[in-house]
């Protein structure tokens, strides 16, 4: 047996360790010196199905040598049960067997263990006695009332500790009678400390309802090499307990869950349209590639989540007549948040090395619910809410005048010397209901779930459905116009174009195959349908439009001039749809093959099928010649397959050290297939290709990529010290056939210094953990990036079709993999009797050979090739993250807690490679310059201005603009702070939760300023500040006036929940019910001149710009939740 173990260990670590005497592992509790309870801590392993209680008791007695005393008159000894436990303390196993039988254990002061009938007590006598008592009870989630398994219940001042079982029950015995202080801890929850009277010789019940907290050292983290306690890791990893968050916050998507709860994560929303994606960035812009997206792993299965890829937009894009390029919903939001148990966020290479090169931008690990033992527990909630656009839009200025000489009535520009001003009017069509498309939206959501199980199998099934109508609606003016021209009312989709529906069904199942093996199966199917129209793209022009009420004519901004418009809206008649069907499934097999050897295998696949369309139905365009209809269709499929195999061996080393070695391999294959086609001259009443008079432009794109890596991770630990090392070798089809195999090392250290005897601040710190980690990761160039590739097609030339090829990519044979090195250090502390928790991390992430798509100017090959990938230099992100939680008030009646996270990130391009000169990105809005942040903002500066002609107006010629670009700021926030507060009143019958976010340092490109400038105060009001006049006047030469470094403070959400009394809940046959009023986006305080700086016109890439797209709406909803 021992020889076999060392054989495997030798294989795992390459035979570099000499054998030492092995010890059988046990899960014994901290102290075994207490002889009275020591037998109960002996590990037992049971796999018994449908046996009597007495048989199970005998088996435990035999394995742990407890020498139990009991009589056959005890109740329920003949009841049939099943039990499967591995290395569980005998006491806990006994508790499992005895649960619900009315039998309890008693331990005499001489250590004799007796089983007796449970007795009721009716009074509490606080009388010290030499005979101890027993304490038992149940630990549940204060919000969901679900039992909590694994809670640690301890009697302070003693060595007594118990762990709650899968029904939440714990048992402590013997507890010295008299007043006792009992503390209950659970990963992810606030500990509760409570005094109670332990009655001599009696069974004393004490239940605990634990409230969720952000993070604890004892939390279990899912790493690439399996679950680990947070305390063992040298990295800071954020863990979100989703049920607890969702119960008190208005959560509608996974993005909502992440948005304000992860230090170091910035979320930039694309628009405020229902279902639109967001850009997630962990610890700044790491890679200079467009793809800075973290990877997404759901129950061990990689999910396609490349939000920066061009195909993340509507696959039928570039077909709209007004240039509207709509984004499509993100794949991360295809996951039903109600089906998630936890989300863990690994922020960089130091934490994610073993996940492989794809993980250089961080990893989001999602674990779905798999249920727990017990009867079926049903839960349901339903939401109904409304959305609207808060506040009003800023007013514009319009100057009426008449022309000198002919008295013609004209728009009289401030600087127009040939015009005499008659009046100045202020206006904003978006604030006028007749012309504004901003109305009210609504949302309904319903979720139903059930979970439960036996010792042999646990399950969870969750189903959700939501339906949201966006706030955009066709303005009443345009409705009238449409009816007048077409003779019919606009169709409903045109009236309310934004409509987002999604449904999801997910199941999780865990089965025990034997006492040492279990298998988990998970499967989910979801579909989202997003409808919208080109009406959205009209918002920017509507912001800069004036209507003359005397003649009904509309005037808009065309470049630098005001011109009469054809009508109110240019385009609102193209329908845009994006449909995605997502299927995830996976299987996970764990086998504790030997007490010291665990084998794990994961396999799964993620498939996303998309059907996106942009269509102009025949005869629905109210003006213009394109009345025969057209449709563009984009069909896409992504398929990710992955397999992970892992072996973990544990052994003891001399000097009290323990070594755990994991060796694993994983394979991930990604296949993408997209197909686009368009047709026109549609059949009446359809938006289909069937019957279309002309079918054009079919295109097809396919790619298959695969990565394979293997890793080894030896971890050494000794009591309160954990040293983890690791190495991953990566290969992949994207590397190119001649690339070397990159190796990525890692090392991390975690030290619970507060456990040391010499630690001097024990009164201050309950726990203090120091940690440090170093790791590497890389980003590989794509296969097409090295090769010069061609586009081949059959093209008509002269007299027939010929085969033609043109360049598709330039290729760069000199590319090297990008390598990222990250160092992270920090501490975690629990202070003041766990009333204050503090976490601090500092990190430095350096990218070498940064891969950047350097734009290729059109003088090289037109627009058929826009960029070429190059290793351009070194990029560094440096930052800190702080999280703190404090509970100033914690009584039975009132609990008030505050949590805050702060993160600061500094980004800089340290150097550019030889021959690489500063350049703009593909959008032309951000630039890469050594010594400045990656993709920083640059513009020609306004050096000065002077009213030379003394007319009180600054004209363009009076503004001095510098020739050289100057740095304006960075394109992502460098400081983010989140604040949240939780107030629980009347024993949690009323809870109030609110959270806020501050962002600073984002230099926003406000392109709506450019559009609006002809109607701006600066151009129309001579009393406007000269500086503002100069900025607007110079916009024909520089974007200087469009940039603004913004700070925002957003009242993100508020939830007021009321737990309905049980008597009332029972009227609905529910065990518990709650009603909550919840709101989101409740306030925005900012120095930004535009409407909302936190929305972005670009769905892909790294640029951020506000072109006037729909801001984030305000949402109020009522949620009713019930458990059965």
Residues 757-816 binding other proteins (CB under 8 A) are 783-784, 787-792, 794-799, 801-808, 810
Stretch that binds other proteins, among 114-122, 852-860, 1070-1078, 1112-1120 (CB under 8 A): 852-860
Is beta strand 220-223 parallel, antiparallel or unpaired with respect to 226-229?
antiparallel
Q: Answer yes or no: are the C-beta atoms of 464 and 428 closer than 8 Å.
A: no
Answer for which of 732, 885, 933, 1113 binds other proteins (CB under 8 A) is: 732
Instruction: Find where tokens 């002077």 sit.
Output: 946
CB-nearer residue toward other proteins: 63 or 703: 703
Show the binding pattern over residues 545-584: x = contacts other proteins (CB under 8 A), - = does not: ---------x-x-xx-x-xxxxx--x--------------
Q: Among residue numbers 175 through 234, which ones bind other proteins (CB under 8 A)?
A: none
3-state secondary structure 23-78: CCCCCCCCCCCCCCCHHHHCEEEEEEEEEEHHHHHHHHHHHHCCCCECCCCCCCCC
CB-nearer residue toward other proteins: 195 or 798: 798
What Å distances lie between residue 69 and 58, 656, 995, CA to CA?
11, 37, 56
Q: Among residue numbers 437 through 456, which ones bind other proteins (CB under 8 A)?
A: none
CB atoms within 10 A of CB 612: 25
924 binds other proteins (CB under 8 A): yes
695 binds other proteins (CB under 8 A): yes
CA proximity to 607, closest of 551, 650, 670, 559: 670
Q: Answer yes or no: are the C-beta atoms of 806 and 791 closer than 8 Å.
A: yes
The least distance separating other proteins from the CB of residue 50, rounded to whole angstroms, comes to: 21
The least distance separating other proteins from the CB of residue 561, rounded to whole angstroms, comes to: 7
Answer for which of 118, 382, 395, 703 binds other proteins (CB under 8 A) is: 703
CA proximity to 19, closest of 10, 32, 28, 31: 10
Which H helix or E strand runs over 619? none
CB-nearer residue toward other proteins: 693 or 1061: 693
704 binds other proteins (CB under 8 A): yes
Stretch that binds other proteins, among 338-346, 473-481, 625-633, 719-727 (CB under 8 A): 625-633
CB atoms within 10 A of CB 492: 9
Distance CA 695, CA 679 (A): 4
At residue 958's C-alpha, the angle toward residues 953 and 964, to 5°, is 135
Distance CA 443, CA 252 (A): 10
Q: Per the structure block, which two tokens stand in for 437? A: 């498309």
User: Exposure of 552 by Cβ count < 10 A (0-12 exposed, 13-18 middle, 19+ buried)?
Assistant: exposed
Answer for which of 24, 376, 684, 696 binds other proteins (CB under 8 A) is: 696
Answer for which of 378, 384, 583, 667 binds other proteins (CB under 8 A) is: 667
Stretch that binds other proteins, among 86-94, 118-126, 948-956, 1030-1038 (CB under 8 A): 1030-1038
User: Exposure of 841 by Cβ count < 10 A (0-12 exposed, 13-18 middle, 19+ buried)?
Assistant: buried
The reply to whether omega before 174 is within 30° of 0 (cis) is yes
Q: Per the structure block, which two tokens stand in for 584? A: 């995830």
625 binds other proteins (CB under 8 A): yes
The least distance separating other proteins from the CB of residue 304, rounded to whole angstroms, comes to: 16
CB-nearer residue toward other proteins: 792 or 833: 792
Answer for which of 115, 332, 868, 902 binds other proteins (CB under 8 A) is: 868
The pair phi, psi for residue 310, each rounded to 5°, is -60, -30
The least distance separating other proteins from the CB of residue 601, rounded to whole angstroms, comes to: 9
Stretch that binds other proteins, among 206-214, 698-706, 752-760, 1052-1060 (CB under 8 A): 698-706
CB-nearer residue toward other proteins: 530 or 630: 630
Answer for which of 646, 819, 908, 1119 binds other proteins (CB under 8 A) is: 646
Show the binding pattern over residues 143-162: x = contacts other proteins (CB under 8 A), - = does not: --------------------
Stretch that binds other proteins, among 689-697, 842-850, 985-993, 1047-1055 (CB under 8 A): 689-697
CB-nearer residue toward other proteins: 807 or 874: 807
Percent composition of the chain: helix, strand, coil (DSSP 3-state, to 5): 15, 50, 35
CA proximity to 879, closest of 286, 287, 352: 286
Q: Among residue numbers 929 through 988, which ones bind other proteins (CB under 8 A)?
A: 939-940
CB-nearer residue toward other proteins: 491 or 698: 698
707 binds other proteins (CB under 8 A): yes
Return the sign of the alpha-carbon dihedral for residues 251, 257, 263, 268.
Answer: negative
CB-nearer residue toward other proteins: 648 or 905: 648
Q: Answer yes or no: are the C-beta atoms of 156 and 193 closer than 8 Å.
A: yes
Which H helix or E strand runs over 354? none
Stretch that binds other proteins, among 84-92, 382-390, 707-715, 767-775 (CB under 8 A): 707-715
Stretch that binds other proteins, among 289-297, 586-594, 605-613, 757-765 (CB under 8 A): 586-594
CA proximity to 851, closest of 475, 70, 117, 289: 289
CB-nearer residue toward other proteins: 628 or 770: 628
The least distance separating other proteins from the CB of residue 715, rounded to whole angstroms, comes to: 17
CB-nearer residue toward other proteins: 980 or 1007: 1007
418 binds other proteins (CB under 8 A): no
213 DSSP 8-state letter: -
Q: Among residue numbers 225 through 254, which ones bind other proteins (CB under 8 A)?
A: none
403 binds other proteins (CB under 8 A): no
DSSP-derived secondary structure for 319-356: --TT----B---GGGGS-GGGEEEEEEE-SHHHHGGG-
Show the binding pattern over residues 1093-1112: x = contacts other proteins (CB under 8 A), - = does not: ------------x-------
664 binds other proteins (CB under 8 A): yes
Answer for which of 759, 761, 861, 986 binds other proteins (CB under 8 A) is: 861
Distance CA 57, CA 72 (A): 12
Number of residues that bind other proteins (CB under 8 A): 127
725 binds other proteins (CB under 8 A): no
The least distance separating other proteins from the CB of residue 659, rounded to whole angstroms, comes to: 16
For residue 854, the cross-strand partners are 868
Is beta strand 1105-1106 parallel, antiparallel or unpaired with respect to 226-229?
unpaired
Q: Per the structure block, which two tokens stand in for 155? A: 């009697």
Distance CA 31, CA 43 (A): 14
Q: Answer yes or no: are the C-beta atoms of 289 and 1102 closer than 8 Å.
A: no
The least distance separating other proteins from the CB of residue 127, rounded to whole angstroms, comes to: 53
Q: Per the structure block, which two tokens stand in for 51? A: 């046996």
Q: Among residue numbers 991 through 1020, which ones bind other proteins (CB under 8 A)?
A: 1005, 1007, 1010-1011
């Amino acid at each position: 047996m021992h020889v076999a173990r060392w054989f495997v260990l030798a294989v795992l670590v390459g035979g570099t360790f000499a054998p030492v005497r092995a010890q059988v592992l046990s899960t014994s509790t901290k102290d075994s010196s207490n002889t009275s309870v020591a037998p109960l801590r002996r590990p037992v392993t049971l796999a018994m199905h449908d046996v009597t209680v007495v048989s199970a008791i005998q088996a435990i007695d035999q394995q742990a040598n407890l020498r139990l005393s009991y009589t056959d008159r005890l109740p329920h000894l003949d009841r049939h049960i099943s039990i499967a436990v591995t290395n569980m303390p005998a006491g806990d196993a006994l508790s499992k067997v005895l649960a619900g039988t009315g039998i309890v254990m008693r331990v005499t002061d001489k250590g004799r263990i007796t089983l007796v009938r449970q007795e009721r007590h009716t009074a509490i006598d606080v009388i010290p006695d030499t005979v101890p008592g027993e304490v038992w009870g149940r630990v549940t989630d204060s919000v969901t009332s679900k039992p909590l398994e694994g809670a640690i219940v301890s009697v302070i001042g003693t060595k007594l500790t118990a762990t709650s079982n899968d029904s939440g029950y714990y048992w402590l015995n013997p507890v010295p009678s008299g007043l006792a202080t009992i503390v209950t801890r659970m990963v992810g929850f606030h500990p509760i400390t409570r005094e109670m009277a332990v009655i001599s010789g009696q069974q004393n019940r004490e239940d605990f309802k634990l409230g969720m907290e952000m993070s604890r050292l004892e939390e279990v983290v899912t790493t690439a090499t399996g679950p680990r306690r947070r305390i063992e890791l040298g990295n800071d990893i954020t863990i979100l307990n989703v049920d607890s968050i969702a119960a008190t916050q208005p959560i509608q998507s996974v993005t909502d869950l992440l948005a304000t709860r992860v230090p170091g994560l910035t979320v930039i929303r694309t628009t405020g349209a229902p279902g639109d994606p967001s850009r997630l960035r962990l610890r700044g812009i790491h890679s200079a590639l467009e793809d800075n997206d973290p990877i997404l792993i759901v129950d061990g299965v990689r999910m396609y989540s490349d939000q920066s890829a061009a195909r993340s937009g509507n696959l039928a894009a570039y077909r709209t007549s007004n240039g509207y390029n709509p984004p499509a919903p993100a794949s991360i939001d295809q996951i039903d948040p109600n089906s998630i148990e936890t989300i863990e966020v690994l922020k960089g290479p130091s934490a994610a090395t073993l996940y492989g090169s794809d993980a250089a931008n961080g990893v989001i690990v999602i674990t779905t619910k798999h249920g727990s033992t017990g009867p079926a527990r049903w839960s349901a909630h339903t939401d109904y809410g409304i959305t609207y656009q808060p506040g009003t839009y800023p007013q514009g200025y319009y100057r009426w005048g008449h022309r000198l000489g002919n008295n013609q009535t004209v728009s009289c520009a401030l600087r127009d010397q040939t015009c005499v001003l008659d009046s100045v009017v202020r206006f904003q069509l978006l604030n006028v209901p007749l012309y504004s498309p901003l109305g009210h939206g609504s949302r309904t959501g319903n979720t139903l779930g059930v979970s439960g199980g036996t010792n042999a199998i646990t399950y969870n099934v969750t189903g959700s459905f939501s339906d949201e109508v966006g706030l955009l609606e066709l303005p009443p003016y345009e409705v009238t116009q449409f009816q007048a021209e077409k003779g019919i009312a606009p169709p409903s989709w045109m009236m309310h174009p934004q409509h987002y529906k999604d449904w999801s069904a997910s199941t999780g199942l865990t089965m025990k195959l034997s006492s040492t093996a279990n298998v988990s199966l998970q499967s989910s199917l979801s579909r989202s349908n997003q409808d919208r129209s080109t009406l959205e793209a009209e918002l920017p022009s509507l912001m800069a439009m004036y209507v003359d009420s005397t003649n009904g004519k509309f005037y808009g901004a065309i470049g630098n001039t005001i011109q009469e418009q054809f009508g109110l809206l240019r385009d609102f008649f193209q329908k845009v749809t994006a449909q995605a069907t997502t299927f995830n499934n996976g299987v996970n097999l764990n086998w504790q093959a030997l007490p010291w050897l665990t084998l794990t295998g994961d396999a799964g696949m993620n498939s996303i099928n998309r059907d996106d369309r942009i269509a102009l139905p025949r005869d629905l365009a109210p003006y213009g010649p394109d009345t025969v209809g057209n449709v563009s269709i984009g069909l896409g499929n992504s398929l990710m397959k992955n397999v992970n195999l892992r072996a973990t061996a544990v052994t003891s080393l001399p000097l009290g050290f323990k070594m755990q070695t994991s060796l694993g391999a994983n394979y991930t294959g990604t296949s993408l297939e997209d197909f686009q086609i368009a047709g026109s001259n549609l059949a009446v009443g359809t938006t289909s290709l069937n019957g279309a008079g002309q079918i054009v432009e079919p295109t097809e794109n396919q790619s298959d990529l695969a990565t394979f890596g293997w890793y080894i991770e030896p971890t050494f630990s000794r009591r309160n010290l954990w040293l983890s090392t690791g190495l991953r070798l990566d290969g992949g089809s994207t590397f190119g056939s001649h690339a070397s195999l990159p190796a990525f090392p890692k090392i991390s250290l975690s030290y619970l210094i507060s456990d040391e005897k010499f630690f001097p601040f024990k009164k201050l710190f309950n726990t203090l953990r120091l940690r440090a980690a170093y790791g590497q990761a890389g980003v590989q160039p794509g296969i097409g990036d090295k090769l010069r590739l061609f586009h081949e097609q059959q093209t008509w030339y002269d007299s027939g079709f010929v085969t033609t090829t043109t360049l598709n990519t330039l290729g760069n044979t000199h590319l090297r993999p990008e390598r990222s090195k990250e160092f992270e250090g920090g501490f975690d502390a629990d202070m003041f009797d766990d009333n204050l928790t503090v976490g601090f991390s500092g990190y430095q992430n350096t990218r070498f050979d940064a891969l950047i798509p350097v734009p290729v100017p059109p003088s090289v090959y037109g627009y058929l090739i826009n960029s070429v990938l190059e290793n351009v230099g070194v990029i560094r992100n440096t930052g800190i993250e702080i999280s703190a939680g404090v509970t100033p008030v914690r009584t039975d009646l009132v609990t008030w807690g505050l949590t805050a996270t702060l993160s600061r990130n500094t980004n800089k391009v340290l150097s550019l490679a030889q021959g690489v000169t500063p350049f703009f990105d593909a959008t032309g809005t951000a630039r890469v310059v050594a010594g400045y942040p990656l993709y920083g903002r640059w513009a020609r500066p306004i050096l000065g201005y002077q009213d030379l002609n003394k007319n009180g107006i600054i004209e363009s010629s009076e503004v001095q603009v510098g020739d050289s670009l100057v740095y304006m700021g960075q394109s992502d926030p460098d400081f983010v702070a989140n604040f949240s507060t939780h107030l629980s009143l009347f024993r949690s019958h009323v809870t109030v939760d609110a959270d806020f976010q501050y962002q600073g340092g984002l230099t926003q490109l406000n392109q709506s300023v450019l559009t609006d400038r002809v109607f701006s105060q600066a151009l129309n009001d001579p009393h406007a500040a000269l500086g503002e006049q100069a900025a607007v006047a110079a916009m024909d030469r520089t974007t200087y006036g469009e940039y603004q470094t913004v700070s925002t403070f957003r009242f993100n959400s508020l939830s007021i929940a009321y737990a309905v009394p049980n008597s009332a809940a029972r009227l609905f046959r529910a065990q518990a019910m709650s009603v909550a009023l919840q709101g989101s986006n409740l306030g925005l305080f900012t120095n930004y001149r535009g409407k909302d700086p936190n929305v972005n016109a670009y769905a892909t890439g790294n640029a951020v710009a506000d072109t006037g797209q729909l801001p984030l709406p305000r949402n109020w909803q009522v949620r009713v939740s019930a458990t059965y």
